[in-house]
Structure formats: C-alpha cells, structure tokens
C-alpha cells in the first residue's frame, strides 16, 4: 500500500491529509486559536509561597502567575507504598522557597481570573507510550484488560526503563508490535535529553518543551509507517520539520519534500472535494447504492440502501453485493470522519447466514487498515451490526461545523404552515393576556407570504374573532421559524 502525507500550513490553521492509493483516508485539522498550554514544560520561578493554602505562585512568563499546590510537587518523601495510610503532604515551605527555579508542567489551562495549574511530576506522551522521567518502572493502562496482552507489553517495555526513565503503556498500544514500541521509547528518550539541555540554558521566556503541533505530531505518529512521500506547502514549516526529523526521526528525512507548486496542495488528490463530501449525510456507492450516516451524541448510525442498483441476478445477490461494497465505504468514512464510540450499521436484510458471515468478514478486513482500536460484535437479534471505535479526537464534523442557528441541531425546520398556525395561536394568547388596539406580525419571507396569500382567510377570520386589525411585516433576516407578535 502506497501512502503519502500532504501538509497544508497557514498562520491560523494546519491540515494534514493521509492519501493511500490515491484516495483520501484520514484528515487531521488543528486551529491555532484552539491550542492550549496543557502539556507544556517551563523553567519557572517561585515568586510567592502561601503556607496557609499549601501552594506557591510560579512565574512562567504568562499574563497571570501559575498555581502549584504542594500535592503536585513530586518527591519520593510523599510516596509511601508500604503503608495503606493516606499520603501526608509536607509543608510547602519545606519543598520550595521564593526565588527558586523549578521545572513545571501545565496540567490545566488558565481560566477566567485563575492562572494555569502546574505539576512537577513531568510526563511526555507519544503515540503508544508516556515517558515518566521521575519514575523507573513500566506501567500498563488499566483499559488494556487482556492479561496476556498486559504481560506481553510489559515484557517489551521494561528493558527500556532505567533509574531516570519510566514508561506507561497507553491504551492505543493494545496490539502494537515490538518495533513500534521501540521507536516510541527511543523517540521519547531523545526528546527528554533535549528538554534537559534546554533546562541547562536556564531560559525562562519560552517553554523548554511545548506539546507538539499537528504537523509534528503526525510525523511522530506515522513514524514506522511505510510512507512514500511527505509534502509540505510552507517553506518555514518544511525547514522546522526538517530539523525535527533530523533530530528525532531521521528515517523520515528522506521522504520529506517542500511543495512550491502554484496549484494548492490539497487539489492534487481532490482533497477539498472529499472533505466536503465527508460532511454530507449521504455517501454514494459506485454501484448506485448509498449510505446514510447520522452522528448523534449517543452513537453513530449508518444505513445502507440499494438505491438505483438493481443487479443482474436475483434480489439476494443484489443485496449481498451492495452490502459488501458498503463495508469498504464504511471503513473509509469512519477513518476520514474520525467517528468514535458506539456505531450501529443497518445492512440491507439478508436471508443467507453465509452472506452475513462474508459481509462481516469483509468489514473486518476493511477495518484492519485502521490504526484506531475497534471492535465488531456481529449481527444482533434485530439484524443490526454493532461495533465500537475508540475516540481519539474530535470528529471532522465537530471540528469544521457548528450548530445550525435555525434548527438548533435538529436537522429539520418547521414547515411554513406550522409556523403560520403558531403565529395565529400566539395572537390569540397575547390578546387574552393584554389589552391592545392592533397587532403587527414580523416573520420571515416565506411565512409572511403564506400569511398574506395562502392563510389570508384564516388571518381574516381571526381579525373578526378578536375585533382587532392584524398587519404582517416581512423581516428578511429572520429564519423560517422566527417571528414576533407586537402589540400596538
């Protein structure tokens, strides 16, 4: 399988597209305004110690001083593993003093009048591992429940630990190979060496480690993947990535390229059009069938329909062919849209158990290309396929789209007729509650036209019923459901 990364960089946004065999498979988007401070490491200075609060304020060159509690200061004296008694937090004055330089990491962004929350228990994450410079052991994520897998992962990672480097194996490492874990461990150790070098320079103006931006994270996460080319359309970003790969992942330096073309980089593989299609509910299949994808708070549902595909044999073969084709499209859409959590797939009903088995196998093969952990649970008693896919980041829809101001996320608007009748009822309600001489109705263009034309006889009957004049005023800026009833 041939893979290529396209990286589009602008001052406000970075977008990364993974192309496999000429087709967009994954899309990653990061906006500069949404990047926080969590994960950044600073060489800070204690500017005030507050014994009553068991805390200290630390200057890390932000607008507000950051907050460091005594319980967030790492020290072996505070850990008593042999005792079941609660840990006793030492007096803050025995841990730090004013004017002291201290290496800290942001665990919570500044909020309102509060400064950032800090810890001295430093951790640096990669794709599969988390480095703990203050530890010397290997830990396994509790979410990896399989005992044999936990033992396998611990046996792989333990040799990389020493007195100054401990590791936690992340949930994403479930099923990861020895080579990938080795790459991650080496990457993190090299990264921590660079952090220590920057600490020795005693720089306080900028972070000594900043959580990687999208372009760097993608380079890190795809380390070990067979990529033919990585193209970047920003000269500055290319130079930064060139330095980064030379230091940490030299194996990727040979596939890194600067793209100077006049044609936008995302036009090369029709990426922009593919992203637009990934926001649609309906996905067309080559055979004429189609999928309907609905993302809700609780789950994602996918419905398959034959559409215009009538087949050349019997109905059962037509249904089977459509379902098999749909499995490839589903696997691609889950990756491209980054849909996670519970996923319910409503394949077209099949009578044959053999067909069901082959459709499930086709789905499993198509999903095998996905690096995100997933689980397929087969057909339920209702004929639905239930599966889960780990949530790794916001879905493409949640990043690129917001709630519709008109429908408030329902995906539907009340009809003109429904809104017209709501207005008539509102006039009656207001008339009973208040004393008015006449009413003016402000409504959208289609609703006001309906009241003046189609519903004119109802409006006239209401005027006679309440004995007051009703005027209709068009408000072009109103959406279809908006209206106001004003008393005069």
Give the integer Cα–Cα distance in Å for 261 and 241. Answer: 19
Check residue 451 and give its pLDDT: 93
The answer, as to whether pTM is greater than 0.75, is: no
Judged against a pLDDT cut of 90, whether residue 318 lies above it is answered with no
Interval 276-310: pLDDT, tens: 999 999 999 988 889 999 998 889 999 998 876 55
16 pLDDT more than 70: yes
457: pLDDT strictly greater than 50: yes
* 135-149, 300-314, 356-370, 454-468: least confidently modelled range: 300-314
* pLDDT class of 1 with cuts at 50, 70, 90: low
Q: What pLDDT does residue 307 have? A: 75
For position 403, what pLDDT does the model report? Answer: 82
Let me know if domain 3-35+213-267 sits in CATH 3.40.50.150.
Answer: no
CATH class of the domain comprising 41-200: mainly beta
Domain ranges for the chain: 3-35+213-267, 41-200, 281-400, 416-487
Q: How confident is the model at residue 79 (pLDDT cuts 50, 70, 90)?
A: very low
Q: How confident is the model over 155-179, as a mean pLDDT?
A: 88
Has residue 184 got a pLDDT over 70? yes
Res 203: pLDDT: 62
Which tops the pLDDT comparison, 359 or 398? 359
Average pLDDT, the chain: 87
- The domain defined by 281-400 folds into Aminopeptidase (3.40.630)
Least confident of 198-207, 259-268, 273-282, 421-430: 198-207
Residue with the larger pLDDT of the pair 258 and 410: 258
What CATH number does the domain located at 416-487 have?
3.40.1260.20
Q: Is the pLDDT of residue 313 over 50?
A: yes
């Amino acid at each position: 399988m041939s893979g290529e990364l396209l990286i589009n960089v602008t001052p406000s946004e970075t977008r990364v597209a993974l192309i496999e065999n000429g087709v967009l498979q994954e899309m990653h988007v990061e906006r500069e305004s949404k990047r926080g401070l969590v994960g950044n490491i600073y060489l800070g200075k204690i500017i005030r110690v507050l014994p009553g609060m068991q805390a200290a304020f630390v200057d890390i060159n932000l607008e507000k001083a950051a907050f460091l509690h005594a319980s967030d200061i790492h020290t072996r004296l505070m850990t008593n593993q042999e005792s079941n008694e609660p840990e006793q937090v030492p007096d803050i004055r025995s841990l730090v003093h004013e004017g002291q330089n201290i290496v800290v990491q942001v665990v919570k962004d500044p909020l309102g009048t509060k400064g950032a929350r800090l810890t001295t228990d430093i951790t640096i994450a990669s794709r599969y591992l988390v480095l703990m410079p203050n530890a010397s052991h290997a830990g396994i994520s509790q979410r990896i429940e399989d005992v044999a897998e936990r033992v396998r992962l611990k046996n792989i990672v333990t040799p990389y630990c020493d007195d100054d480097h401990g590791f936690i194996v992340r949930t994403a490492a479930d099923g990861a190979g020895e080579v990938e874990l080795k790459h991650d461990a080496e990457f993190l150790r090299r990264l921590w060496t660079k952090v220590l070098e920057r600490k020795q320079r005693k720089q306080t103006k900028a972070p000594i480690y900043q959580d990687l931006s999208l372009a760097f994270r993608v380079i890190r996460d795809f380390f070990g993947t067979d990529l033919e080319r990585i193209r970047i359309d920003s000269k500055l970003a290319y130079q930064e990535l060139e330095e980064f790969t030379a230091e940490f992942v030299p194996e990727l330096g040979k596939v890194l390229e600067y793209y100077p073309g006049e044609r936008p980089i995302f036009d090369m593989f029709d990426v922009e059009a593919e992203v637009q299609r990934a926001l649609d509910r309906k996905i067309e299949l080559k055979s004429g069938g189609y999928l309907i994808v609905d993302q809700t708070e609780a789950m994602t549902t996918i419905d398959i329909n034959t559409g215009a595909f009538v087949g050349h044999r019997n109905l059962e073969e037509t249904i089977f062919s459509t379902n098999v084709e749909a499995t490839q499209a589903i696997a691609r859409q889950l990756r491209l849209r980054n849909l996670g959590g519970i996923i319910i797939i409503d394949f077209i009903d099949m009578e044959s158990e053999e067909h069901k088995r082959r459709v499930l196998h086709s789905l499993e093969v198509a999903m095998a290309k996905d690096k995100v952990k997933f689980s397929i649970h087969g057909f339920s008693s209702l004929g639905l396929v239930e599966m889960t896919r780990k949530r790794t980041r916001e879905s493409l829809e949640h990043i690129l789209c917001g709630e519709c101001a008109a429908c408030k996320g329902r995906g539907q608007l009340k009809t003109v007729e429904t809104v017209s009748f709501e207005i008539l009822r509102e006039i009656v309600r207001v008339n009973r509650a208040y004393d008015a001489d006449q009413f003016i109705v402000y409504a959208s263009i289609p609703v006001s036209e309906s009241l003046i034309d189609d519903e004119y006889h109802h409006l006239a009957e209401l005027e006679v019923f309440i004995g007051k004049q009703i005027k209709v005023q068009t408000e072009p800026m109103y959406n279809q459901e908006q209206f106001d009833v004003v008393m005069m």
